[in-house]
Amino acid sequence: MDIPTLAEEFGLEEQEVRRLYLTFLESTEKDLVLLGQAFTEQDAEKIRAAAHHIKGAAGSLELEVIAEAARRIEEKARRGMIEDPAAHIANIRTQLESIRTQLSSEQ
């Protein structure tokens, strides 16, 4: 995550890009809670929707690892395959923590 380069690409100030990432972190944490609840309910449509939201937000911020993990969950749910997404969720959480650490160290 290169804030100066992303700021230039997005046509924003660096502080605005940081705020985008902070908003993404907050939103994604909520989506992960919804994803966990949907899995507990065995609701493939809710799983798909939560994963789709994560995928889109991550993709727009060029967070490809998170987008790919969410895409995998979304695709399985779309096919009605309700499989424990714990490994993918753990991967996403690890990536979120890395982003938090980077944002903290750049302030």
What digits encode the pLDDT tens for the residues 32-87?
999 999 998 999 999 999 999 999 999 999 899 999 999 999 999 999 888 777 88
Architecture of domain 3-102: Up-down Bundle (1.20)
Q: Structural domain boundaries of the chain?
A: 3-102
pLDDT over 70 at 107, yes or no? no
Q: What is the 3-state secondary structure (H, E, C) of 46-94?
A: HHHHHHHHHHHHHHHCCCHHHHHHHHHHHHHHHCCCCCCCHHHHHHHHH
Place of tokens 């493939």: 44
Residue 98 burial (C-beta neighbours within 10 Å; 0-12, 13-18, 19+)? middle
pTM: 0.87
Please state, as a whole number, how many other Cβ atoms lie within 10 Å of the Cβ of residue 32. 19
pLDDT by residue (tens digit) across 27-43? 999 999 999 999 989 99
Cα–Cα distance, 3 to 13 (Å, whole number): 9
